[in-house]
């Protein structure tokens, strides 16, 4: 795969623009709610976090005694994650690799994992479809893939709401790339087709930011807490879940 996006040189900006904002807090809250049954379970799990960035979410697994392999394409992201995990007293649960997703089979070998996390990664790849084959080979027969991807349908809807009709008519394409904006949003039906090709099935579907990205006015702290409650309440209820800016799907091998 060529022209995959890396966040080298953008670690601070990424942390500030994503995790320190309302949209980042909603993302983390939804993921924590969805995956709590996995990381609070009694059995120790092996976890692979692909494109893990600064490693915030996987700390939920480490805090409950699960071992995590943290990977990212950018050296400085991995270094920042290592510092964060050390500060939290969790570094003994981690191992680290700096590599793009496509090189992980050579770096990690034949290891398979109980849980594979791949959050907000595929939409940055030049060939997101082929990445599923790589992820699948790391998944144990009874393992769970936590996949979060940028929803093309929601991007189209948001741009219609805000009156960007020319952009929609141009099929969501622009001449000048915005580095912090995903360039390969994925339609859920397209993802369904890719998963079927690899004999993977969706066990649970959640919309991430079903309402936030359509708001026209900024939120104060009190209204954010109310919004967060409503996001969590409706994130798995159609039709709202389908409008989530991201889709979080829990995926397993299809029954034989």
Query: What would the pLDDT profile of 1-16 be if each residue is shown by its tens digit?
Result: 345 655 555 555 555 5
| Residue 242, pLDDT score | 97
Does residue 114 fall inside a structural domain? yes
Does pLDDT of 18 surpass 90? no
Structural domain for 17, as ranges = 11-253
**Is 1 inside a domain boundary?**
no
Nearest to 242 by CA among 218, 201, 209: 209
**Averaged pLDDT for residues 198-226:** 93
Q: Which two three-digit tokens encode residue 64?
A: 């409950």
Q: Is residue 2 part of a domain?
A: no
Predicted confidence band of residue 202 (pLDDT cuts 50, 70, 90): very high
Encode pLDDT of 157-187 as tens digits: 999 999 999 999 999 987 666 556 787 899 9
State the binding site for S-adenosyl-L-methionine: 27, 51-52, 72, 119
Q: What is the mean pLDDT of the chain?
A: 91
pLDDT value for 137 = 94
Residue 100 has pLDDT above 60, yes or no: yes
- pLDDT score at 13: 56
pLDDT for position 2: 41
Known binding residues are: 27, 51-52, 72, 119
Name the domain count of the chain: 1
Query: Tell me, what CATH number does 136's domain have?
Result: 3.40.50.150
Task: Find out whether 72 and 138 touch, Cβ atoms under 8 Å.
Answer: no
Residue 1: predicted pLDDT: 35
* Tokens of residue 246, six digits: 């991201």
Structure-token pair, residue 153: 């349908």
Query: Does residue 243 form part of some domain?
Result: yes
- pLDDT reported for residue 26: 96
Q: Check pLDDT > 90 for residue 112.
A: yes
Domain assignment present for residue 4? The answer is no
Distance CA(88)–CA(16), nearest Å, equals: 19
132 within a domain of the structure (yes/no): yes
Q: Confirm whether 42 is domain-assigned.
A: yes
pLDDT in the model for residue 11: 54
118 occurs within a structural domain: yes
Alpha-carbon torsion (220, 226, 228, 231), positive or negative: negative
């Amino acid at each position: 795969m060529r022209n995959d996006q890396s966040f080298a040189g953008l670690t601070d900006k990424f942390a500030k623009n994503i995790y320190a904002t309302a949209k980042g807090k909603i993302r983390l809250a939804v993921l924590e709610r969805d995956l709590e049954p996995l990381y609070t379970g009694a059995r120790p799990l092996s976890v692979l976090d692909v494109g893990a960035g600064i490693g915030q979410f996987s700390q939920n697994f480490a805090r409950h005694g699960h071992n995590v392999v943290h990977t990212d394409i950018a050296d400085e992201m991995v270094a920042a994650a290592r510092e964060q995990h050390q500060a939290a007293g969790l570094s003994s649960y981690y191992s680290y690799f700096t590599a793009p997703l496509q090189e992980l089979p050579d770096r990690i070998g034949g290891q398979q994992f109980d849980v594979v996390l791949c959050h907000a990664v595929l939409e940055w790849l030049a060939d997101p479809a082929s990445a599923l084959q790589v992820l699948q080979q790391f998944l144990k027969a009874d393992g769970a893939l936590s996949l979060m991807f940028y929803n093309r349908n929601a991007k189209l809807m948001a741009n219609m709401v805000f009156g960007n009709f020319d952009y929609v008519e141009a099929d969501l394409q622009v001449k000048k790339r915005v580095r912090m904006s995903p360039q390969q949003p994925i339609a859920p039906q397209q993802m369904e087709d890719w998963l079927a090709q690899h004999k993977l099935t969706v066990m649970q579907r959640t919309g991430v930011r079903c309402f936030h990205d359509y708001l026209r006015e900024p939120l104060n702290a009190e209204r954010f807490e109310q919004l967060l409650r409503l996001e969590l309440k409706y994130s798995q209820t159609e039709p709202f879940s389908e409008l989530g800016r991201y889709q979080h799907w829990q995926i397993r091998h299809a029954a034989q």
